[in-house]
Amino acid sequence: MALERLFRRKRPSGENRDVPELWTKCEACGAQLYKKEFRENLYVCPKCGHHHRVPAVERVEMLADAGTFQEITGLKPLDPLGFVDTKPYAERLRAYQEETGRKDAILGGTCTIGGVPAVLLVMDYAFAGGSMGSVVGEEIARGAERAAAEGRALVIVAASGGARMQEAALSLMQMAKTVMSLDRLWERRLPYVSVLTDPTTGGVTASFAALADVIFAEPGALIGFAGPRVIRQTIRQELPEGFQRAEFLLKHGMVDRVTDRRRLKAELVQVLRHLHPGVPYALGV
């Protein structure tokens, strides 16, 4: 199975991750959590409800129906500008690839979700902060086009610091490319749902992520255009409590629902079944 292959990806040598620490700590309340239980609770702290970040592979597992996911992503990034800051971009890419076992910051495939045929694309924050360069943009455009061609819904789980600086203007252009590819779904009357997770900012929020038919956000997720640090510098004031958090976005009318991760799949299925024209009327499934 494609998913098993993904799980069995190569680990960095020198450390044995097969015998992991049994315990971990909640980032928010500091509670000691038994890792196995924590994972079974979808990385939500059972004590305080804090939603921790989820590895892309496990996000796929949470949302795709068991055994249906077939990966369609795998484009390789280039270094079109020969970008060097304190380190060459090419070197950074290699390090991220080794660390994550992925070519770039996105994992996607075809699957069913609650029986509804879908293309599911999950951004990987562990790879360069989930930043969108040419590969992420192209994978999203291809994902949307494939969904349209095969009559599938499109589901994107966003997690990104924004556009990737090292591909500069080409990264910026991905905002237009991804947005325009969504028209293919419009033409075929197929649903597009985005899930905004912690964090979703910059050029990702300001392009495809904000344009879904239905937008979910995870509790407490940082979501916005400018990052809080930039805003603090601009206005030279402390930011209000809860600013740019999912609940703030809900209050200001930018997202449809802030949904606990443990209910996310159920709500997602309800939306997809309702909106996908190929699914017959069915209550309470």
Partner 1 sequence: MPLEFEKPILELEKRIAELRETARTTGVDLEAEIRLLEERLARLKEEVYGSLTAWQRVQLARAPGRPTTLDVLEKAFQDFLELHGDRAYADDPAIVGGLAYLEGQKVVVVGHQKGRDTKENLHRNFGMPHPEGYRKAMRLMDLADRFGYPFLSFIDTPGAYPGVSAEERGQAWVIAQSIQRMSRLRVPAIALILGEGGSGGALAIGVANRVLIMENAWYSVISPESCAAILWREAKEAPKAAEALKLTAKDLLAQGVVDAIVPEPEGGAHKDPLKAIQNIKEALLKTLEGLKGLSPEELYRDRYRRFRTLGAYAES
Instruction: By CB under 8 A, name the binding residues for partner 1.
Output: 74-78, 80-81, 83-86, 103, 133-135, 137-138, 141, 163-165, 167-177, 179-183, 201-203, 205-211, 224-226, 230-231, 234-235, 239-240, 243-244, 252-254
Which phi and psi angles does 181 have, rounded to 5°? -65, -25
At closest approach, how far in Å is the CB of 21 from partner 1? 32
Q: Distances in Å between the alpha carbon of 180 and those of 91, 96, 158, 173?
A: 32, 29, 18, 11
Our CB check for Zn ion shows the closer of 102 and 245 to be 245
109 binds, among Zn ion, partner 1, none (CB under 5 to 8 A by kind): none
Q: Rule CB under 5 A: say whether 263 interacts with Zn ion.
A: no
At closest approach, how far in Å is the CB of 253 from Zn ion? 29
Size of the site for Zn ion (CB under 5 A): 8
| 225 in Cβ contact with 202 (< 8 Å) | yes
AA identity, residue 180: M
75 binds, among Zn ion, partner 1, none (CB under 5 to 8 A by kind): partner 1
110 binds, among Zn ion, partner 1, none (CB under 5 to 8 A by kind): none
At closest approach, how far in Å is the CB of 103 from partner 1? 7
At closest approach, how far in Å is the CB of 80 from partner 1? 4
How far is 147 from 185, CA to CA, in rounded Å? Answer: 7
The number of C-alpha atoms within 13 Å of 188 and in the hemisphere containing its C-beta is 20
Interface with Zn ion (CB under 5 A), residue from 7, 11, 34, 48: 48
How far is 7 from 58, CA to CA, in rounded Å? Answer: 9
48 binds, among partner 1, Zn ion, none (CB under 5 to 8 A by kind): Zn ion
At closest approach, how far in Å is the CB of 55 from Zn ion? 19
203 binds, among Zn ion, partner 1, none (CB under 5 to 8 A by kind): partner 1
How far is 222 from 158, CA to CA, in rounded Å? Answer: 11
Three-state SS annotation for 2-44 = HHHHHHCCCCCCCCCCCCCCCEEECCCCCCEEEHHHHHHCCCE
Element (H, E) at 63: helix 56-63
Q: Name the nearest CA neighbour of 191 among 114, 131, 136, 259.
A: 114
Our CB check for Zn ion shows the closer of 24 and 97 to be 24
81 binds, among Zn ion, partner 1, none (CB under 5 to 8 A by kind): partner 1
Q: Rule CB under 5 A: say whether 29 interacts with Zn ion.
A: yes
Q: Distances in Å between the alpha carbon of 45 and those of 31, 42, 164, 216, 219?
A: 8, 9, 31, 20, 12
Q: Distances in Å between the alpha carbon of 269 and those of 65, 131, 259?
A: 10, 28, 13
Q: Rule CB under 5 A: say whether 45 interacts with Zn ion.
A: yes
Q: Which residues bind Zn ion (CB under 5 A)?
A: 26, 28-29, 31, 45, 47-48, 50
